[in-house]
Structure 1
Amino acid sequence: MLTETSPLLRNLGVNQALQSDEQYATKRPENEVLIEAEIDTGEIEDAFSWRKLWKYTGPGFLMSIAYLDPGNLEADLQSGASAGYSLLWLLLVAHIAGQLIQCLSARLGVVTGEHLAQLIKQHYSRPVSITFWIITEIAIIGSDIQEIVGTAIALRIIFGIPLWVGTLLTAIDTFTFMLLQNYGVRKLEAVFMVLIGTMATCFWIEMYMCSPDVGEIIKGSLIPIIPRNAYVQAVAMIGAFIMPHNLYLHSALVMTRKTDPSSYSKIKESNFYFAIESGIALFFSYLINMAIVVVFARVFYSPNEDKPLPGLYDAADVLTNTLGSASRYLWALGLLAAGNSSTITGTLAGQFIIEGFFGKIFSKSWHRLIITRSIALVPSMLVAIYSVNDFDNMGEFLNVLQSLCLPTALIPLMKLTNSKSVMSKSFRTRYICGGIYFIFITYIAILPLKEAATL
């Protein structure tokens, strides 16, 4: 299996491939195989191949769902409603930084044959790894609350059912979709591509209906400013897009492709195609998120008025009043696709993380599914029942929470990819993504001080 030969890279490095397989076998430790490598990527090819890219296509699109969940949609609509086109540059930078960080995550899985949770367990002390797990679970719960309740809101818009009923239906719906795992990862990936296509169609039709100002879109994408009243929305946008559990998820998903960890050329090929595939997936994500920001910049933003920002449910009424009743259902359908897809990837990430930190503790897959889903379902039900009227403010807080939890995944990722005992060699990408992340976090952090000095 894929994970049975990967530790040779951790112990010896790719460039020592002149030694025999027997020598490698005597030095590699025994590790649990948690992920099956189902897709054969074929022999190494010298030239770029679309057919080869298709074999690697899938993990990046599942990863990109974390950039399209209901929390992202709420961050998008509120940034457009509060700042107009001004935060489009931050949306672009978040996707660029996300691409570079996700490439590190994918490379970690390809080179080592193990995902981030497994490697943290191996290379950090038990107290530290448990702390990382607890913080990551908090981030997953916060993300899942938005995803489950966001899906319930979509069902309420379409069918008018109570929010707590929609929450239960969403949980059942998630179990149904997760059964697709039994039919192979390719079918699961195909479902996600359909859902992403649904979101793109719905939100781009709405953007076309609102007749956006192309010049303002370009200006907002290139000029880095944050309006004084949009500071919280800017921080929430960062947390909504780059989520801790997504780094764990991507490093695990790449292991569904069969590679040869003893071959430097095969590792190089895998990293190349996974980087392209991730870039394509996040490009589509950027276009979808940009459409939502633009729509609410057009239909709601008013720089001279101080009015409450819309939430996921109120957004349907805002669109109906401006663009007509059809826009209401386009919004709900796109939100439903976002919620369904993100609850599935959240469940997958939870499974990988728990088994990565604690080993294969579940005897059957449905035991693992019930436990990981219940961790998020119970808090979501409490929110749906007791905090319905204040969910929009909670959603904003949960997005900020993701930003606070992100370092506990990002720091180990960068440390592990910089370690020659883990990787065959370090990657310059880590400096670039770390630099971008540091720049826009620092910029946002010092902005309030700058504004206070001008008062």
Structure 2
Amino acid sequence: MDKPVKGWQRTMGEASLSDVHRSIGVAAGSGTFRRAMAFFGPGYLVAVGYMDPGNWATSLAGGSKFGYALLTVALVSNIMAIVLQSLCARLAIGSGRDLAQACRDAFPKSVAMILWLLAEIAIIATDIAEVIGTAIGLNLIFGIPLELGVIITALDVFLILYLQKLGFRWVEALVITLLGVIAVCFTIQIALADPDWGQVILGFAPTTDILTNPDMLYLALGILGATVMPHNLYLHSGIVQTRAYGETLPEKREALKFATIDSTIALMFALLVNASILILAAATFHKTGQTTVAELGEAHSLLAPLLGLAIAPMLFGIALLCCGINSTVTATLAGQIIMEGFLNIRLAPWLRRLITRAIAIVPAAGVTIAFGDSGTGQLLILTQVVLSLQLSFAVFPLVMFTSDRTKMGELTAPLWLSAFAWVIAVVIALLNVKLLYDFVS
């Protein structure tokens, strides 16, 4: 057994997601591939947050206004995400805590409470994007009014309760299935749009225009906020612990390796989806002079005349609905991890989810109903910028904890990884300062 890790101000409370903690066996003694497959799943729940409806709004706006230029932001954001999510898995496996629990156990109560409030704001901003996206998807496909669609999205809490009663693997199976549907929808739409692949490749190259153009920087930060999302850092550090990977150092090292591979592959898939949304917007809207498309409903209605096929908007709506369902599922789980971790509350699983869902869904529903059909695109982009501003308050503690040998023991992040993570944390913070300065001035 590896030595117990010291360096925390408080003893560890209840296990993260206690009702499903260590509920999935790893089949010790079996082949490497079979053990690796036991860790297949959490990365795809995390990847959902990197392609939620908020991403759609920022990518649509970026692609329609600036063509392929912001593809480089999607790529850089994804690299940041891969590094940060690997640290989440490291924190969970090395310390036995999720990020919320680590903040509670490492910081004074006053600091932990401030971080909890900021995390809840991030969850609310996330949920606003997901509620809007799901409601719009229901409206586009079935003609359900936006207000009714918002109420329907709240029912996902019962879906999670049912699936988790069957086993956490069922939650992962639902998410992965819907991700497959999204991938098929976008593959067909990109084929119909026939983009300029030369320009697509050039779009991944860095450009200084992002720093000198305030409009482009605003959208770039929106893409960053929509890609590297605060709630994903809490989510990943919780759901990795659903695996019964053992307590010895070799078992933990292997678990970290497989969990990192899982999240890296899943996030590369998320990059493909995000890039596809931006490419679709650039190849259809920017190319035809439609440079102000940010509303999801507007994009849906314009696809048919621009691509010449009625199936294009239907595929767009189906993919959006699948994204919305997936995102509300993962945001509900993240909300539970945040509330339980920071406050160390002990309630029945159904009551926990009901409370955490209500905290997020009530303000999200209120804002969505108040805005109605108009202005949803701008609201979605604003939520992503809010998430970007909240991001540093999750990233800095994560990097601090995983760099600290007294907290992580033998699984402390290597020096090169810590250095890279600190650079990412500082870059995110500086970009946010620049955004605030531009906004004020």
TM-score for the superposition, normalised by structure 2: 0.91
Larger Rg: 1
**How far is 1:168 from its partner?**
0.8
Task: Name the counterpart of 2:202.
Answer: 219
Change in CA separation of 1:194 and 1:390 when aligned onto 2, cut-off 3 Å: same
Kept in 1: contact 2:156–2:329 (CA 8 A) = no
Match of 2:419?
A: 431
Q: Which residue of 2 aligns with 1:16?
A: none
What SS does structure 1 have at the residue aligned with 2:204?
helix
Partner of 1:273: 258
Which residue number corresponds to residue 6 of structure 2? 11
Query: For residue 344 of structure 1, what is the aligned residue in structure 2?
Result: 329
In the alignment, which of 55, 63, 69 is matched to residue 52 of structure 2?
69
Q: 1:356 to 1:173 in 2, by over 3 A?
A: closer
State how far apart, in whole Å, the 1-side matches of 2:339 and 2:316 are. 34
Q: How many Å separate the matches in 1 of 2:329 and 2:168?
A: 13
Query: Could you tell me which residue of structure 2 aligns to residue 358 of structure 1?
Result: 343
- Partner residue, 1:24: none
Shift of 1:85: 0.6
Contact 2:300 2:313 in 1 (8 A): yes
d(CA) in 2 for partners of 1:240, 1:121: 26
Q: Report what 1:145 is aligned to.
A: 128
Partners of 2:142 and 2:295 lie apart in 1 by 18
Alignment of 1:16-415 (within 5 A): 29=11, 31-34=13-16, 35=18, 36-43=21-28, 49-226=32-209, 228=213, 229-261=215-247, 263-302=248-287, 307-323=291-307, 324-362=309-347, 364-388=348-372, 389-415=374-400
Decide whether aligned partners of structure 1 residues 354 and 448 sit closer, same or farther in structure 2, where only a CA change above 3 A counts. Answer: closer
CA displacement, residues 32-75 of structure 1 (integer Å, 9 cap, x when unaligned) = 23432011213368xx8322221111111111111011001111
Deviates more, 1:140-149 or 1:351-360: 351-360
Post-superposition offset of 1:336: 0.4
Which deviates further from its counterpart, 318-327 or 233-242? 318-327
Counterpart residue identity of residue 373, structure 1: R
- The alpha carbon displacement at 1:178 in A equals 3.6
* In structure 2, distance between residues paired with 1:29 and 1:145: 35
2:408 partner SS: coil
Task: Answer yes or no: is the 8 Å Cα contact 1:151–1:167 preserved in 2.
Answer: yes
> CA, structure 1 residues 325+254, in 2 after alignment: closer, same or farther (shift >3 Å)?
same
Q: Which segment drifts farther, 369-378 or 248-257?
A: 369-378
Q: How many Å apart are 1:154 and its aligned residue?
A: 0.4
State the Cα RMSD in Å: 2.4
Of stretches 126-135 and 159-168 in structure 1, the one that deviates more from structure 2 is: 159-168
| % same residue | 34
Letter aligned with residue 424 of structure 1: G
Distance 1:242 1:393, change over 3 A: same
The DSSP-based 3-state class of the residue aligned with 1:421 is: helix
Structure 1 gap segments, 5+ residues each: 14-27, 451-455
- Report if the CA contact (8 A) 2:163-2:171 is conserved: yes
Give the aligned residue type for 2:420. I
Q: Normalised by the size of structure 1, how large is the TM-score?
A: 0.88
Do the aligned partners of 2:118 and 2:393 also contact (CA within 8 Å) in 1? Answer: yes
Name the SS for the 2:155 alignment partner. helix
Counterparts of 1:430 and 1:206, CA distance in 2: 40
| 1:25 paired residue number | none
- On the 8 A contact 1:158/1:329 being kept in 2, the answer is yes
